[in-house]
């Protein structure tokens, strides 16, 4: 027995050494190769899509926590760990009107991962940097795939890319420590409705009253032509100048006022914290099995992270008086929930005009079959005027799969109507 125990301990030690070597094989400098290394691990088929509450999600959480530890971050979860656990009730996911006490569904244990880098100064203020690390698993919910068979949804861009960003920035600042504390958060349950970030703001492990700002990265791995979208610019008067001054790489910044949307910064916006959401736009692989590592633009993500780094360095020079929260203009939504059918269109999230502009359509889906094209601005669906993306989603939630309706668009200034079957 002692012999076998010794062999087991030796094997554990070997694995630990190998893991430690792997953790430290990256460089403190932000690099495209490190970005690609993290995404490759998180979006591997073996991780089976990192669905919240699964063994693969737990493996991803352990990977993040191990790296936080190797970077010298303090545990900022519960009970001296890097983890903050919360329960997901699938009965509520399947029926929004169900209560948490409903026992008809499955109860899953999920976890956020939190690491705190102590600043060199004596201020209590903290800058929060976050991203969600969960994805759709085998596509049992939330998938836009036309396949009826379960398939692995690896989520390389959504959101292994944002998680890689959190890890890269944590490693960089651990070697280049700022005066202000930095709280690094990796959320789970985002794909099920911002569950992890909502749980965190309701049960913070670091006092949110001391938060200078929250920076969220979601789908940041597909930069094209140097275009970078940043949401939340209207949540404090200081953001626009900070973002512009940090842009020394000639990125094409698309600054969007909205403080909310379908990602985790929304939870912090409703705590009156200035937020930013970095985003390199949607694409045809969104919520599909084809969102794989091979399509990642790691060099572009390195540029993006360098921009975030400069923003954090500028925030390190400021205090809360310089970052007073302001409510973003327009209608702010807690979440963008889709209960109805989809048209198979790619939204132009940077469009801030009247209507809902699309950048493309998915082949063989309802919009494509009806004749819609990239660049069209949807202004009416089934008699409901469409002022923005929120009204678009409200309209679709009123419809059912298989139903026929009419979609009216503006194309090159001309109003066109199309009959469409959902």
Residue with tokens 């983890």: 83
- Find the helix or strand (DSSP H, E) in which 64 lies: helix 55-70
**211-217 and 126-132: which strand pairing?**
parallel
* DSSP state letter for 328: P
pLDDT at 15 over 50: no
H helices present in 82-180, as ranges: 90-94, 161-175
This prediction's pTM: 0.84
CB atoms within 10 A of CB 357: 23
Query: Tell me: the pLDDT tens digits for 396-417?
Result: 888 888 899 999 999 999 999 9
Bridge partners, 322 (sequence order): none
What are the chain's domains?
25-92+102-323 (3.40.630.10), 345-421 (2.30.42.10)
Query: Tell me: the pLDDT tens digits for 102-145?
Result: 666 688 999 999 999 999 999 999 999 999 999 999 998 888 88
**Contact in structure between 396 and 343 (CB atoms under 8 Å):** yes
Query: Tell me: the pLDDT tens digits for 247-273?
Result: 998 899 999 999 998 899 999 999 999
Query: Tell me: the pLDDT tens digits for 157-166?
Result: 999 999 999 9
Q: Please, how many CA atoms are within 13 Å of residue 259, restricted to the half-sphere of its CB? A: 24
């Amino acid at each position: 027995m002692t012999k076998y125990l010794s062999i087991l301990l030796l094997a554990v030690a070997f694995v630990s050494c190998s893991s430690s070597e792997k953790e430290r094989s990256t460089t403190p400098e932000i690099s495209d190769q490190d970005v690609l290394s993290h995404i490759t691990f998180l979006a591997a088929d073996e991780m089976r899509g990192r669905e919240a509450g699964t063994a693969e999600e737990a493996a991803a959480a352990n990977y993040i926590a191990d790296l936080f530890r190797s970077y010298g971050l303090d545990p900022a979860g519960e009970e001296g760990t890097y983890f903050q656990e919360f329960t997901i009730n699938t009965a509520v996911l399947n029926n929004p009107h169900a209560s948490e006490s409903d026992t008809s569904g499955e109860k899953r244990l999920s976890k956020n991962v939190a690491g705190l880098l102590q600043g060199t100064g004596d201020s209590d203020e903290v800058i929060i940097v976050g991203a969600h690390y969960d994805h759709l698993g085998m596509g049992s919910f939330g998938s836009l795939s036309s396949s009826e068979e379960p398939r692995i949804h690896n989520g390389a861009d959504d959101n292994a890319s944002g998680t890689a960003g959190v890890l890269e920035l944590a490693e960089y600042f651990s070697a280049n420590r700022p005066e202000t504390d930095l709280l690094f958060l990796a959320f789970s349950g985002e794909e099920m409705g911002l569950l992890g970030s909502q749980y965190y703001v309701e049960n913070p492990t670091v006092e949110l009253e001391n938060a200078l700002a929250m920076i969220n990265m979601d789908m940041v791995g597909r930069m094209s032509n140097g275009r970078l979208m940043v949401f939340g610019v209207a949540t404090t008067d200081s953001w626009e100048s900070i973002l512009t001054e940090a842009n020394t790489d000639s990125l094409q910044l698309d600054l969007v006022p909205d403080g909310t949307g379908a990602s985790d910064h929304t939870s912090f916006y409703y705590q009156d914290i200035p937020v930013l959401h970095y985003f390199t736009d949607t694409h045809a692989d969104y919520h599909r099995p084809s969102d794989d590592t091979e399509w990642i633009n790691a060099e572009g993500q390195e540029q993006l992270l360098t921009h975030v780094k400069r923003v954090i360095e500028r925030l390190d020079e400021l205090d809360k008086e310089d970052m007073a929260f302001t409510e973003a203009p327009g209608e702010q939504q807690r979440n963008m929930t889709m209960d109805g059918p989809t048209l198979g269109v790619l939204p132009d999230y940077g469009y801030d005009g009247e209507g809902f502009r699309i950048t493309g359509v998915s082949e063989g889906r309802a919009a494509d079959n009806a004749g819609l094209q990239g660049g069209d601005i949807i202004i009416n669906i089934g008699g409901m005027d469409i002022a923005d993306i929120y009204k678009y989603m409200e309209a679709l939630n009123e419809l059912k799969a298989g139903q026929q309706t009419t979609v009216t668009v503006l194309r090159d200034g001309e109003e066109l109507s199309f009959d469409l079957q959902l």
